[in-house]
A and B are shown apart, each in its own frame.
Chain A
Amino acid sequence: MADDPRPFDSWTCPAPLSGGGQVLLGHGSGGKLSADLVRDLFLPAFHNPALARMDDQAILAINGLRLAFTTDSFVVKPLFFPGGDIGSLAVHGTVNDLAMGGAQPLFLSAAFIIEEGLPMETLERIVASLRRAAADAGVQVVTGDTKVVEKGSGDGIFINTSGIGVVPDGVALSADQARPGDRILLSGAIGDHGIAILAQREGLEFESTVASDSAALHTLVAGMLGASKEIRCLRDPTRGGVSSALNEIAGQSGVGVELDERAIPVREEVRGACELLGLDPLYVANEGKLLAIVAPEAAESVLSAMRRHPLGAQAAIVGSVSAAHPRTVTMRTVVGPTRIVDMLAGDQLPRIC
């Protein structure tokens, strides 16, 4: 696509970030620090219309075909966790980023950055899992890369996957499409992935039966799009949780989002862990859930379509889009009053007080 000359007033400089001059873990948390990094460094550096949409995938029109293109890196500890591993996660994460654009995922790349000394058997298990997940999702891994770094320079293994899919005609999903009156649909209980990982963290361990919800969501999305074309936007609430995803939509669409706390499904195990560690499930990561912003008249039919799919059996309408307080997410709490659901600066930390 042609490079349009940009108007003078949209010129921006990649200004250095304020505050310390060091990258912190929080910059990768999916919260405010991540958003700042993207806004202040990456967006100005690479400015173009496809990137400016700020969705989970870029939509590229080439010879009349609309391609969805995305990339994601996976750095999970432990490598194997209840409900999945870094291999299956690397497929699901990228397939889902494509699916959130309404695309049919087709091809993946897989790049492995391996720390010297990783047992070969571990690598084989991860690759087998990745292969299985790709086959289950109906995508092929068509290109790849391998690098090995010195012991101590990596955390066992990091995987990057990129993906390409095709967006069907008539589908145009984007985070700037939410309109007042739209309903917010959530495909199931939140926080499973984050809590399953946290349960394994040294120093915080607890016994639980929570498994990661890691799953490929494209067939769920296809079912939803089959039920109605009045879906404005889809997001999978990964890092930063439901809160970050909805704050991004509210910001990009210039609307308010109003949640109903009682309508949000949370598993008893996830609630228990959150109570114990002082965490809010709205900020905990998911890897197999989606949020849909749907026109009010289509909400019920999309909801039924979701519930017919195994990954959407617990789907619920959890709120609506409003013209009041634009760019802000609020929630009616279980006891009645309303509060703000802010984006966190960095990772949510267990608290003692």
Chain B
Amino acid sequence: MLTKRIIACLDVDGGRVVKGVRFKNLRDAGDPAQCATAHARSGADEIVLLDITATSGNRRPLLDVIRATARSLFVPFTVGGGIRQLEDSAAIFDAGADKIAINSAAVHDPTLIGRIAACFGSQAVVVAIDARKVNGGSAKRGFEVFTSGGRVPTGRDAIE
């Protein structure tokens, strides 16, 4: 039987782990590599590192932070943020990630999901969806998809 997994998520901004409430009022939570190691030691089944301003800041993923974090980890390591094309994911796998997470790019170019899966396997691709409850908006079932770190509404329904 497959066990239920507990995943610790590191939202990274400016090379530091941060955490806010509803994507705002960010507080510092430490160094990514140290934070990841601590969570893995206490029993996390997976670590996710999200570069939360890569897309909105039009930046490439922070490969040095990814590399330093991957080096200290022995549990599956997923990286997301700013992945726009196949080459971005290749660089992230090279830096030591086991899986990549795509969010904005999966909305703008859904073929990217299949292209990454064809190169690296479907186990290596996660689609992350930021959904916000809307009343009477364009999302039929009540949850609208947002991209760019929760900044840009898409008019798309989360379930559909």
Q: Do A and B come from one complex?
A: no
A interface, CB within 8 angstroms of B: none
Binding site for A on B (CB under 8 A): none
